[in-house]
Amino acid sequence: METIFEKPIDMRHKDLKAVEWQIPQITPKRDYGDYEFQASLEHISNEMLKTFKNYRYEAYKNWGFPKWKRAKLNGYEPDKYVSFVPVSTSGKILALNGIDQEGIEILAKYDFEGAHRKFLLMAEAFSNTGFYLKTNEGEERDPIILTYDWKSPIYETSVYNISPFSKATVIRYIKSNKNENLFRTTSNRIIVRENASLELININLCKDDSLNIDNTFVEVQKNGKVQVTDINIGGRITSPHIVFRLAGEGAQAQLFPYFLGNKDNVIDMLYLMRFYSPETTGAIDAKGVIKDESKAVFRGFLDLKKGAKEANASESEYTLTLSEKAKAEALPSLLVDENEVNAAHAATVGTIEKEKLYYLMTRGFSLEEAKKLISSGLFESAIDRIKVFDEGMSQVVKDVIFQRI
Considering the domain architecture, whether residues 325 and 376 belong to the same structural domain is answered as no
Compute CA distances 54 → 37, 38, 50, 218, whole Å: 8, 10, 6, 24
The H helix count followed by the E strand count for the chain is: 8, 25
Could you tell me the residue range of the domain that residue 365 belongs to?
353-404
Please check whether residues 131 and 10 belong to one and the same domain. yes
**CA 128, 133, 137 angle in degrees (round to 5)?**
165
Mean pLDDT to the nearest integer, 219-243: 97
Q: What is the mean pLDDT of the chain?
A: 94
Q: Is the pLDDT of residue 10 over 80?
A: no
The 10s digit of each residue's pLDDT in 373-390 is 899 999 999 999 999 999
pLDDT at 51 > cutoff 70: yes
How many domains is the chain built from? 2
The pTM score is 0.95
Task: Say yes or no: 363 and 345 in one domain.
Answer: no
* Per-residue pLDDT, 178: 67
* Percent residues over pLDDT 90 in the chain: 81
**Segment 276-290 mean pLDDT:** 97
3 state SS of 268: strand
- pLDDT band for position 245 (cuts 50, 70, 90): very high
pLDDT score, position 9: 77
Nearest in space to 315 (alpha carbons), one of 294, 337, 330, 295: 330
Say whether both 24 and 58 belong to one domain.
yes
Burial (0-12, 13-18, 19+ Cβ within 10 Å), 296:
buried
Residue range 260-265: average pLDDT?
94
The answer on 212 and 68 residing in a single domain is yes
For residues 268 and 363, state if they share a domain: no
Question: Can you point out the beta strands (E) in 84-166?
Answer: 88-90, 94-95, 110-112, 131-134, 144-149, 154-162
Residues 163 and 281 in one domain: yes
Cα–Cα distance for residue pair 253/245, rounded to 1 Å: 9
Residue 286: pLDDT band (50, 70, 90) is: very high
Are residue 220 and residue 187 in the same domain, yes or no? yes
Looking at residue 18, its pLDDT comes to: 73
Torsion angles phi and psi, residue 246, rounded to 5: -85, 90
- Residue 64 pLDDT grade (very low, low, confident, very high; cuts 50, 70, 90): very high
Alpha helices in 178-334 (DSSP H): none
Note the pLDDT tens digit of each residue in 106-140: 999 999 999 999 999 999 999 999 999 999 999 99
Element (H, E) at 287: strand 281-290
Residue 183, amino acid:
F
What is the per-residue pLDDT for 179?
A: 63
Please give the backbone phi and psi of residue 97, each rounded to the nearest 5 degrees, phi first: -60, -20
Q: Which residues pair with 211 in a beta bridge?
A: 183, 237
> Domain check: are 357 and 330 in the same one?
no
Residues 6+ apart with CB under 8 A from 115: 213, 215, 239, 240, 241, 268, 270
Examine the pLDDT at 202 and tell me if it is beyond 90: yes
Q: What is the pLDDT of residue 142?
A: 97
What are the tens digits of pLDDT across the range 143-155? 999 999 999 999 9
115: burial class by Cβ within 10 Å (0-12, 13-18, 19+)?
buried
State whether 329 and 208 are in the same domain: yes
Residue 396: which H helix or E strand, with range?
A: helix 391-404
Q: How many CA atoms lie within 13 A of 83 on its CB side?
A: 10
- pLDDT exceeds 80 at position 309: yes
Tell me: pLDDT of 319 over 70. Answer: yes
More confidently predicted of 184 and 339: 184
Of the pLDDT bands very low, low, confident and very high (cuts 50, 70, 90), residue 356 is confident
